[in-house]
Structure 1
Amino acid sequence: MNAQLPGFEQKDPATARILLVDDDLRLLESLRHLLELHDFRADTAGGGRAAMEKLRERSYDLVLLDLGMPEVGGRDVLRFMATEQMSCITVVVSANGSVQDMTAALRDGAYDYLRKPYVPEELLATVNNALRRKHLEDMNCCMRGRLERSERLHRMIVNNSPDIVFILDKAGHFSFINSRVTDLLGYERESLLGSPLLALVDDEDREKAAYFLGQVMRRHRDVRSVELILRPSGRVHCRRHFEVAVWPQQEEHEETPFGDMTHSIYGTARDITERKESEAFITFQAYHDLLTRLPNRALFKDRVSLAIAHARRRGTRLAVMFIDLNRFKIINDSLGHAIGDRLLQSVSQRLLATIRQGDTLSRFGGDEFTLLLPEVQDAEAAGQVAQKLLDSLSRPFQIGVHELYVGASIGIAIYPEQGQGLDELIRHADIAMYREKRSRKNGFRVFNPEMGSDAIPLQLEQDFRRALERREFQLVYQPQVDTAQCRLAGVEALVRWPHPVHGVLGPVDFIPLAEETRLILELDHLTLRTALEEVGRCHLNGHAGMRLAVNLSPIVVEHDDFVDRVKQSIADSGFPPHLLELEITESLLMSDGRATVEKLGALSSLGIRFAIDDFGTGYSSLSYLQKLPVHTLKIDRSFTQGISAREDEACLVNAIVSMAKGLQMGVVTEGVETLVQMDYLRSLGCPMMQGYLFGRPATLSDIIERPLSLPSAGRFPGQVDELPEQV
């Protein structure tokens, strides 16, 4: 029968690998037969040397070994198995029954000892027990191997985790920390063992970390986390943000791959620096202008709202300024957006250097800036700040090879006098800026209630676009008189806008808006085509020699299709090119000179003449006057007003006329209103004039039908009768 211990499930006997070793072949065969009767399968070896060969060839669970064998005995086999670290169990079956032999065999590694002749039942029981032990040892070895592999896997996962993994003792000191701390913070993990977690926390978050640890030291069931800034070692130079998560404390005496977790805290620290930087960048994008890095409109409004609340509580004033750059669009269109962007950055830096640390400068959009002065004494103090801003912009900006000039128009609104709320203050500052911009000068203006009746820029822009679509603009003409020959030499086309609410508006009321919105392109071309058609009809009705002067914005001249559109307008109207004079401003000379020369030269080759309007009021360069195909200088009305009976009060006019003669250019004087002015100009040899003395701007039909008669006046000594060709 098959002996078996209670509670042990013996594996299938046929699967057991057994080796029988004995030099008595008859006894060896009898033993094999006995085992086969009980379903065991066994190999046999007729001596110690044969046994060693068998053991080298395959592994066995059990070896039944005789001690007394010639040449190679049983103890030699036992020592061989020990040397080769074979895991099979050995039961000695020997006739040698002395205590010394038994002790020696057991010392050499035998599991049990049976004497010959053996009792079959005793031998079978011993075999079963030995196989059971071998089975248990194999299972234990397998489990131990699995545990070791599991522990290695856990350690590999922990040490290669992207997070810092740590264990704290009940005092909050590190009892374990993985090697990730070296990669992220530069510390050697061994140097941190026994150190408190708080030693790694940045001073900014030390109080928050201490409170958090105090909470998690108490038993809790939920995972708790906190965001902390951890201080790196000297090898790492930047602070890093971490999300520290702590798991519930382990139960008493619970064992883990990392040892006893009694009263310990297991946690992780995940590096969230990139996420925090991304969040900060997104927040920065939401509230800042990326080009200038100034606060944007949203952040500016938020700060103004807070400043209003603060001023209301303390009973103080604040100022809001609306700053709009002058001439920026000309530079941006002429030199490109890259230069324009660099100019905006330089402007913002210069403005920042002018204001106080507590003030808020923002880019409101395009070339518009806003400024918040949280505490100002009065409008005069705000004006002083505005003047400092204008002074800072008066110096040229060196952008690459370009020396650029920009100015600004500034509107100011004071809380609480000019507005009680955010939108009201910004709107009133915008209106004041727009009123100042209409003056076409660099300056500032404080809002007053009378400006409230002005057309709001947005509404005016909408009305302007609608007027263009419906062609509601009208042309009037200013006579240009040759006083030497007492004849009407030509007319200058002037545009008027009959606004349905504000009445008839002159150019000063809407040209700045047209230039800002670039609607001036359509307006000037519409004006040119209409004037060519109307004056062209006069040519057919007996006034063939009448000249036409049309004023053009620099934006129109600088546009790429300027030459083509002028040519097309002349071709469509059939107007004689040599009777057309296009008036440009001195500001155009400050832009791209080469492109301007090429464009004006292309039109001049057709016979079209060019005049510098309001000469002397801008920043003219005499070298450009020689390069450009300019035929006429128009003396501004501000110089004409200085002419009186005393000749020394008109020195500027004298200088301009002399310069024009030297450059072989014609001269037209604007703003002639008195006989004294007319006669003095004639005495200088400058007979081409226009002004109220000869009639106010009117329709072309009114001018033609009205007979021309010059007022009589005395003659100045030295008056020149021979005049150069004019206009």
Structure 2
Amino acid sequence: MARKNDDLGGYRSLFENAVEGIYRTTPDGRYLDANPALARIYGYKDPAELIAGLTDIARGLYVDPADRDRFREILARDSVVSNFEARVRTRSGEIIWIAENARAVTDGRDRLVCYEGTVQNITARKQAEESLRLAATVFETVGEAIVVTDGQRRILAVNDAFERMTGWSAAEMVGQSCDLLAVEMIGLREVDEMWRLAAGTGQWSGETWTRRKESEPFPAALALTAVDQGIDGRFVLLLRDITRKRRDEQRIRFHASHDALTRLPNRHTVMEALGESIVRADQTGERLAVLYLDVNRFKDINDSYGHGVGDELLRQVARRLKSCVRASDVIGRLGGDEFVMLLPSVGDHSAAQACANKVLYAFAEPFDMEGLQLFAGTSIGIALYPDDADGAESLLSRADAAMYHAKRGGLPYSCFDIEMDRQVAERVSLENDLRLALGEDQFRLVYQPKVDALSGAIVGAEALIRWRHPMRSDVSPGLFIPVAERAGLIGAIDDWVLVEACRQVAEWRAAGLNLPSISVNLSPAQFHDGRLKDKVKAALADSGLSPSVLELEITETMMASDVDRAIEILGQLSALGVRVSLDDFGTGYSSLAYLKLFPVSTLKIDRAFVTELPGNAKDGAIIASVIALAGNLGFSVIAEGVETRDQAAFLAARGCPVMQGFLFSRPVNAATFAALLSNPEGLIRL
């Protein structure tokens, strides 16, 4: 009896102190007994609380009711359930994983007495398994290549991304040394250092070069991690192909240092190269030449043919300039149509002049713009270091001054001399004064009459701008108009001319002086201004003039780039009732086939055809043809630059009685012109 009691006591001690949960239930599922471990697993204070809280071993526990049904089915069928895994809720609502074993207990007659079983909390194991599963999934599906090695750098495993990235299969790589991936440009010393740092600190990361199976090395971002730093240590190497990143970085660096249109070095890069060249010149005692050039008439071409043609012209200029230099020379685009050439190691001006002559020869051939052939010359300025300047900025500035001198003088190129410094200072001063001129009312208009030579009547006038500078007296338009164009001021000046001309005519009319029409010249910038129609409407509205009084003079080249757009602009002006005159007819680039499409009212014969009349038979034939053409198209015609009676008689005899020129009157101020309107009898008539 004592032995039996001892056995029962031992069993009870085991029951109470077991780490596994142990229970007994009735056949209908009521708890008969439970140990403390089971209470703890389910979140109860003690077994009594558990038994009172749960009358059914499955009720309220299983997260998925199907698990409860499956557990009961197995137990009823087999009388045993082994290692049944399921998720259950504890008393607090926490979800845990359990592994449960249960069996049916019968008496000697095989009658079911109860069920007994054990429960283990396997949540930690399940989480570890999930982590491993996720790790395996990541290993196989991540976009980065992964290599697992042992402590001796032998490859234990590689993932699919590695196979795709390098072209090596796992079968080829497992057992190989990871050094197989190193390339000659890196060297084993650097590779050893990478592994040493990873082993010592736990991780190394950086960018390097590695290899593919059958192609060139490629740049890669690496991350090497020591998983276990013991004798049986493992390392995980992550590789990411950064070829595209490197290309993007190179592209960004290129665009930061080069002109997007021509792909030549930009101003910043040119100045850096110039500074470096000056340092080398100081070290070697050699000279350095700078050629500063721009494209003649580029603005006219750009305005007349459109920005697409202008951009293509600049690209072709860049290609031609490259063909004129040595490999050691530098060509850059400073902006707009301005380029620079740096020629290191030149002996004297003759070497720079030889290069300039090559450039001029390259510009002699026409530029082919998809069937449109354009001739575009260049003006070149030359400056030498250390002869002409002591630094990069001053050297470039003096080459620019020499270029401007060449352009003004009609020279192909010019070498800097000290007098040009004064001219540059004068140009800068003139530009600064020009910016003040509009605000300080320094501009004025003069008016040249358009005369019917047969009757002597004034039939119109052309408004021309003059600048009365407070210190310089009268500044010639030939001097300040190019400066205004270069400084971007021409648009504001043109707008002022339009408004002032309309205002003055309105003033004369209010005084009883009737001027049939007033002509205003449009610059290319003004013609292509999208607000031109509105500006014309505003000038007419402010002055009260009828639109038919205003005549706008344009040139052929302003319309040649985009004929459809030019027709649209002219149509807008004609719709206002404004008349349009084609100035300098016969000297531009437009096709006569387009002339019938342009809504113009007048053709203006250029003075170049009038100057040598009546002696020049060719000029006479051209003029006769223009007059006949105008008549056939329903245009009126006027000749400018008429200075002699013989010229006037020749023109009148061929059907062009309306003329403009010094023979009748020079351009005069408003008061003098008012006197002419009052007493036109003083004008010459035939």
TM-score range normalised by the length of the shorter chain: 0.5 to 0.7
Residues 643-662 of structure 1 aligned to structure 2 (within 5 Å): 643=613, 647=615, 649-662=616-629
CA gap of 1:457–1:231, structure 2 versus 1, over 3 A, is: farther
TM-score, reference length from structure 1 = 0.64
Counterpart in 1 of 2:359? 386
Between the two proteins, the alignment pairs up a number of residues equal to 567
CA distance in 2, matches of 1:38, 1:217: 58
- 1:36 matched to which residue of 2? 8
AA in 1 matched with 2:210: L
Q: Does structure 2 retain, via aligned residues, the 8 Å contact 1:201–1:228?
A: no
After superposition, the C-alpha distances for 1:460-513 in whole angstroms (9 at most, x for unaligned) are: 555434322333211122343444334554432110223456553333333345
Counterpart code for 1:318 = A
8 Å Cα contact 1:243-1:272 kept in structure 2:
no
Which residue identity is paired with 2:383?
I
Match of residue 221 from structure 2: 242
- Which of 133, 146, 158 is matched with 1:178 structurally? 158
Q: Residue 684 and residue 200 in structure 1: after superposition, are their counterparts in 2 closer, same or farther (change >3 A)?
A: same
CA distance in 1, matches of 2:642, 2:396: 42
CA drift of 1:415 comes to 2.2
SS in 2 for 1:469: coil
Shift in Å, 1:569: 2.2
Name the counterpart of 1:124. none
- Alpha carbons 2:181, 2:210 under 8 Å: kept: yes
Alignment of 1:415 with 2:384, yes or no, is yes
Deviations 1:119-171 (A, max 9, x none): xxxxxxxxxxxxxxxxxxx9xxx99999999999988877777464454777x
- Cross-structure match for 1:507: 477
Q: Among 530, 533, 554, which residue is 1:560 paired with? A: 530
Matched AA of 1:661: A
Percent of aligned pairs with the same amino acid: 31
**3-state DSSP of counterpart to 1:668:** strand
For residues 651 and 416 of structure 2, the distance between their equivalents in structure 1, rounded to whole angstroms, comes to 42
Alignment of 1:51-450 (within 5 A): 162=144, 164-165=146-147, 167=149, 174-176=154-156, 178-179=158-159, 181-192=162-173, 195=176, 199-203=180-184, 205=185, 208-213=186-191, 221=200, 227-234=207-214, 239-243=218-222, 254-256=231-233, 258=234, 269=239, 271-273=241-243, 275-290=245-260, 292-312=262-282, 313=284, 315-323=286-294, 326=297, 339=308, 343=312, 346-347=315-316, 350-351=319-320, 354-356=323-325, 357-366=327-336, 368-374=338-344, 377-388=350-361, 390-391=363-364, 394-398=366-370, 407=376, 409-416=378-385, 417-433=387-403, 447-450=416-419
Q: Distance in 2 between matches of 1:214 and 1:281?
A: 33
Distance in 1 between residues matched to 2:169 and 2:211, nearest whole Å:
14
C-alpha RMSD of the superposition: 4.8
| 8 Å CA contact 2:402, 2:415 repeated in 1 | yes
Cα 1:365–1:490 change in 2 (3 A) is same
Q: Classify 1:425/1:152 alpha carbon distance in 2 versus 1 (closer, same or farther; 3 Å).
A: same
Query: Do the aligned partners of residues 42 and 576 (structure 1) sit closer, same or farther apart at CA in structure 2, a change above 3 Å counting?
Result: closer
Residue from 483, 493, 496 that aligns with 2:463: 493
SS in 2 for 1:229: strand
- TM-superposed CA distance for 1:383, in Å, is 2.3
The corresponding residue for 2:88 is none
Q: Specify every segment of 5 or more residues in structure 2 that has no aligned partner in the other structure, as ranges.
A: 16-79, 84-119
Q: Deviations over 1:256-280 (max 9, x none)?
A: 4x5xxxxxx9866565545544443
- Seen in structure 2, the aligned counterparts of structure 1 residues 703 and 654 have a Cα distance that, compared at 3 Å, is farther
Aligned amino acid, residue 229 of structure 1:
W
Q: Residue 625 of structure 1 corresponds to which residue in structure 2? A: 595
Structure 2: how far apart are the matches of 1:693 and 1:470? Answer: 34
Distance 1:425 1:683 in 2: 59
Q: Classify 1:560/1:156 alpha carbon distance in 2 versus 1 (closer, same or farther; 3 Å).
A: closer
- CA distance in 1: counterparts of 2:427 and 2:210, whole angstroms: 53
Task: Answer whether contact 2:516 2:549 (CA < 8 A) is retained.
Answer: yes
- Greater alpha carbon shift after TM alignment, 348-357 vs 519-528: 348-357
CA distance in 2: counterparts of 1:227 and 1:669, whole angstroms:
75
| Greater fraction strand | 2
Gaps of 5+ in 1: 1-28, 44-83, 88-137, 259-264, 713-720, 722-727
Distance 1:636 1:530 in 2: 26
Q: Which amino acid is 2:258 matched to?
A: H
Which is higher, the Rg of structure 1 or of structure 2?
1
Q: CA deviation at 1:201?
A: 3.4
Residue 37 of structure 2 is matched in structure 1 by none
**Aligned 1:499-578 pairs, distance under 5 A:** 499-500=469-470, 503-515=473-485, 519-541=489-511, 543-545=513-515, 547-578=517-548
Residue 590 of structure 1 deviates from its aligned partner by 0.3
> Structure with the greater relative contact order (CA < 8 A, sep ≥ 6): 1 or 2?
2
